[in-house]
Amino acid sequence: MKTYTNTGNKDTRSGFGAGLTELGQTNENVVALCADLIGSLKMDDFKANHPERFFQVGIAEANMIGLAAGMTIGGKIPFTGTFANFSTGRVYDQIRQSVAYSDKNVKICASHAGLTLGEDGATHQILEDIGLMKMLPGMTVINTCDYNQTKAATIAIAKHHGPVYLRFGRPKVANFTPEDQNFEIGKAVKLTEGNDVTILATGHLVWEALEAAKTLNEKGISAEVINIHTIKPLDDKAIIDSVAKTGCVVTAEEHSVIGGLGESVARVLSQHQPTPQEFVGTKDTFGESGTADQLMEKYGLNANAIIKASELVTKRK
Amino acid sequence: MPNTQQLQDLTTQVRRDILRMVHKVNSGHPGGSLGCAEFLVALYQEIMDRKDTFDMDGIGEDLFFLSNGHISPVFYSVLARSGYFPVEELNTFRLINSRLQGHPTTHDGLPGVRIASGSLGQGFSVALGAAQTKKLNGDNHLVYSLHGDGELQEGQNWEGIMYAAGNNVDNIISTIDLNGQQIDGSTDTVLPMGSIRTKFEAFGWTVLDIEKGNDIDAILEGMAKAKALTGKGKPVCVLLHTVMGNGVDFMMYTHAWHGKAPNDEQLAEGLSQNAETLGDY
Ligand SMILES: Cc1ncc(C[n+]2csc(CCOP(=O)(O)OP(=O)(O)O)c2C)c(N)n1
Ligand SMILES: [Mg+2]
């Protein structure tokens, strides 16, 4: 089984910051906006290097989205930065009308997504944002898994014309994807070859899926782990091809099972390749305060949960 | 009725609670909490007319809404020390399975909390709704609310502020924690807001300043005046001039401690500046 090396824990939001710094140097049309969370979003470098292309809007996210939409008219490529909850739920209609329906080239960059935000608790831990964003026609939805991939995705979405939701997080997690990767929007990345179960994971759960695959392998279950960094457009073919071979699937995401990656996968499979599926995600609940690890354990979002789901689903074949 | 010294002693104890709570979990918001300690102590001990049954039906007593939910440490400490729940429970702040969430919530049934807050800018609307219900119920009690100054940058505030005067909601006293600071710096560097007084006045509110927002006597006097201004057809706004981080010298006059916990030495230093009065939890 192919294994991956963690080159050192890093936060995905720093990958975003590094990508934005690079974009600042390479693409003069890139502008950045932030709503009083520059440090949390790691936008300090961009601000320092390009003060004229950086816009502090204050604690006013709805205004930020509208400003960004307006800035696209005339050719700028705005990257907005705030926490995931304030990037989506807070400003849904602004995104819907001024960005998505108006087809504006805005990149909505969202940190502190999911439970791993930790101690701030449920008011800040959005677990519904993938669903909210994927339902908008024309919106691209990306949830990256580590520092390197977040940096690559940040750079890649500047070249893609159209609205994008880029979701990442707060904690330092394993960094294991190649530094020089070419990030292809909508193209799933197969990480391990396997015959018994397909594990489709996104975001922070990709590393957990790899950890789970190791244990499953020892137990005689060969798992095919695929990194679904783009939830929309979904790589239907990669998913169908894999489950045609394995005959069952586990989806894993730091998000509600209602409206997330799992439901997108179920939609594709029920139509083209009906397959037993188990869902790793939060079960119609809000989060709470706690450390990231405690919360991922309590809400069943780690390697152990993926192992259990895999064992269960292989028996349902 | 407690005298000023008793309120001062309670404030000192509340400061200790705040420091110890955020230190223990290495997270939370001490700056804004410390700046509002005198105000919340005075509000709960003296200013509000509260039922001693601590039931949460919201009827027949004054109500308080914390819109800037991140200053939960001061809110929890004052609630506990006013009898809403055991002070020992302050030990569970921000821990898993606790009722004392990072931001206040009704989700886990913590007495004293009437609505979730944390996502900024929603408290005016909620407090105004509760004030409307008081009128519908023929309940002559008041609604109090507290808001950050940076928080005022959210547009929803101004929808509520406009609604209040347009609908003569005169049974509300909304206080703004005017500490001049927010996360990324001073409010003037992040987004200059001009005169907040003029804005509220233009929106039809009666405005009064409490210049010494960290002085118990000044707060009591100012809030008594504010109370006297209710029931006259206009909503009442109090501009409370506070110092962020008040009472812990190295935390004062800066945004640096908005959302940062003290380390062991800093905790010891902060506590040494605020000797135990009523007893630590
Ligand atoms: C809608 C929303 N946007 C952003 C945040 C993140 N945030 C938490 S506190 C804060 C600054 C608040 O400033 P102020 O109201 O002045 O409070 P102070 O820092 O003085 O305590 C920000 C931006 C939030 N909690 N809610
Ligand atoms: Mg402030």
Cα gap B35→B250, rounded to integer Å? 13
Question: Cβ contacts of residue B136 below 8 Å, gap of 6+?
Answer: none
Residue A285 touches chain B, beta carbons under 8 Å? no
Q: Give the model confidence (pLDDT) of B1-34 as tens digits.
A: 689 999 999 999 999 999 999 999 999 999 999 9
Burial class (CB in 10 A: 0-12, 13-18, 19+), B253: middle
Ranges of each domain in chain B: 4-272
How does pLDDT run along chain A (317 residues), one tens digit per residue? 999 999 999 999 999 999 999 999 999 999 999 999 999 999 999 999 999 999 999 999 999 999 999 999 999 999 999 999 999 999 999 999 999 999 999 999 999 999 999 999 999 999 999 999 999 999 999 999 999 999 999 999 999 999 999 999 999 999 999 999 999 999 999 999 999 999 999 999 999 999 999 999 999 999 999 999 999 999 999 999 999 999 999 999 999 999 999 999 999 999 999 999 999 999 999 999 999 999 999 999 999 999 999 999 999 99
If one residue of B22, B181, B183, B251 were mutated to test the ligand 1 pocket, choosing by the most ligand atoms within 8 A of its CB, it would be B183
Q: Quote the pLDDT of residue B49.
A: 98
Residue B89, CA atoms < 13 Å, CB-side half-sphere: 17
If one residue of A43, A59, A87, A90 were mutated to test the ligand 1 pocket, choosing by the most ligand atoms within 8 A of its CB, it would be A59
Q: Quote the pLDDT of residue B177.
A: 98
Give nearest CA residue, ligand 1 atom 4.
A59
Q: Quote the pLDDT of residue A180.
A: 96
CATH class of A10-173: alpha beta
Contact B190 A36 (CB under 8 A): yes
Contact B117 A123 (CB under 8 A): yes
| Beta-bridge mates of residue B276 | none
Ranges of each domain in chain A: 10-173, 189-315
The atom of ligand 1 lying closest to the CA of A82 is 4
Cα gap A257→A179, rounded to integer Å? 31
Give nearest CA residue, ligand 1 atom 16.
B150
Contact A289 B95 (CB under 8 A): yes
* The residue to which tokens 């919360």 are assigned: A295
B230: confidence class by pLDDT, cuts 50, 70, 90: very high
Q: Known catalytic residue: A28?
A: no
Fold exhibited by the domain A189-315: Rossmann fold (3.40.50)
Question: Cβ contacts of residue A274 below 8 Å, gap of 6+?
Answer: none
Q: Quote the pLDDT of residue B149.
A: 98
Q: Give the model confidence (pLDDT) of B131-148 as tens digits.
A: 999 999 999 999 999 999
Shortest Cα–Cα distance, B156 to chain A (Å): 9
ipTM of the complex: 0.95
CATH of B4-272 among 3.30.565.10, 3.40.50.150, 3.90.198.10, 3.40.50.970 = 3.40.50.970
A86 lines ligand 1 (CB under 6 A): yes
Q: Quote the pLDDT of residue B2.
A: 80
Contacts B27 to A, Cβ<8 Å: 118-120
Cα gap A311→A315, rounded to integer Å? 7
Contacts B100 to A, Cβ<8 Å: 289
Cα Rg of chain B (Å, integer):
17
Cα gap A197→A35, rounded to integer Å? 43
Output the average pLDDT for chain B.
Answer: 98
Give residue A257's identity as a one-letter amino acid code. V
B151 lines ligand 1 (CB under 6 A): yes
Q: Which of A28, A61, A193, A218 is catalytic?
A: A61
Contact B153 A58 (CB under 8 A): yes
